[in-house]
Structure 1
Amino acid sequence: MSTISKKICLFGDFGVGKTSLIRQFVECQFSDEYLSTVGVKISRKLVSSSKEGLDNRQDLQLIIWDIEGSNKFKAVAQNYFQGSKGAVIVGDVTQPETLNHLREHIQTFLTVNPKSYIVVALNKSDMIAAEYLEKIRKMYQFTDQANILDTYITSAKTGNNVNEIFQALATRLI
């Protein structure tokens, strides 16, 4: 069994829950205390995956770059995308304007990394009625882009689909 490392970026608008998603994934914790990321924060987590039809398991160390979401930072953020093999682009289901920016974030990332994979996370699903969530997910599928693996309804607070977004990327990266 061998271990490989891959850089992935997590980004989206200010306050959508990027840091909370990473904290839930890496530390299995959630805090209501808001901490604004300044610049970039790097976390690591080892995940295991095996490709279909192969008996050997592969360990993958995800090096997760949590990138600040402010607009004034956008020009610098592209420098942080260099060398990334994947991304989780996050929107907040309680703030429609953050969802409207998802396509722009996808294009910005793919300009730097045209062969990378992306997972879209529609976060804070615990704060909206369940009957609306599937409708929202369908609106932000981005099926017209081959680089998009899937769109997930997530909640950093409850842990809903948090492991799944990172596992989807890890499986593709292996």
Structure 2
Amino acid sequence: MNVLAPVRRDRVIAELPAPPRFCKDTFDKNYKATIGVDFEMERFEVLGVPFSLQLWDTAGQERFKCIASTYYRGAQAIVIVFDVNDVGSLEHTRQWLADALKENDPSNVILFLVGSKKDLSTPAQYSLMEKDALKVAQEMQAEYWAVSSLTGENVRDFFFRVAALTFESSVLAELERGS
């Protein structure tokens, strides 16, 4: 018996978003599930089974560094975000990832490199930054996504991708433990 309120129709993932260009696709295309998503409640309902997604933002600031490791521990996905208009922030991503991986086994986390504020770049500026970002993502073995919070470009697809891959990882881990 399901005791949770139903998920709104506009929050149901009917089709999983495709990975962006130039990324390693780790999602099993044969796996089918209906995933209801309510980001405001941080709750997922998958085939009637509750699944919780917790998001922690350490903001990459030095003042949070002492407590950040607590949030990194046991992560299933690590999202490293940089400003596509600031080369320095892209350079910092390697250190942010290294800090997060001190608390996690790299083979057990899904990595994402996300360029934010895409709306503030001209196409020519973004094209140059994208080349560098794709190199960094490849070094990290991470999927690269460019998003704009202002316009909403790729935000929904990105979070659905994180949710889908994290859920798949949880299900596979549970199946391995059970067998």
Band the TM-score falls in, shorter-chain normalisation = 0.5 to 0.7
- Identity, % of aligned positions: 23
Per the normalisation by structure 2, the TM-score is 0.62
The 5 A counterparts of 1:140-151 are 140-141=133-134, 142-146=137-141, 148=142, 150-151=143-144
Deviation of the 1:55 alpha carbon: 4.1
Number of equivalent positions: 128
- Counterpart residue type for residue 68 of structure 2: A
* Separation in 1, partners of 2:153, 2:52: 22
Asked if residue 52 in structure 1 is aligned to residue 51 in structure 2, the reply is no
Q: Is the 8 A contact 1:119 1:165 kept in 2?
A: no
Q: CA RMSD in A?
A: 2.3
* Separation in 2, partners of 1:103, 1:166: 22
Aligned to 1:13: none
Deviation of the 1:78 alpha carbon: 0.9
SS in 2 for 1:112: coil
Higher helix share: 2
Q: Is the 8 A contact 1:133 1:153 kept in 2?
A: no
Structure 1 residue runs of 5 or longer lacking an equivalent are 3-45
Aligned to 2:93: 102
The 5 A counterparts of 1:11-160 are 48=13, 52-58=29-35, 59=46, 60-114=51-105, 115-141=108-134, 142-146=137-141, 148=142, 150-160=143-153
Per the normalisation by structure 1, the TM-score is 0.64
Structure 2 residue runs of 5 or longer lacking an equivalent are 3-10, 17-27, 36-45, 169-179
> Which entry has the higher C-alpha Rg, 1 or 2?
2
SS in 1 for 2:55: strand
* Separation in 1, partners of 2:32, 2:80: 32
* Separation in 1, partners of 2:71, 2:31: 34
Higher strand share: 1
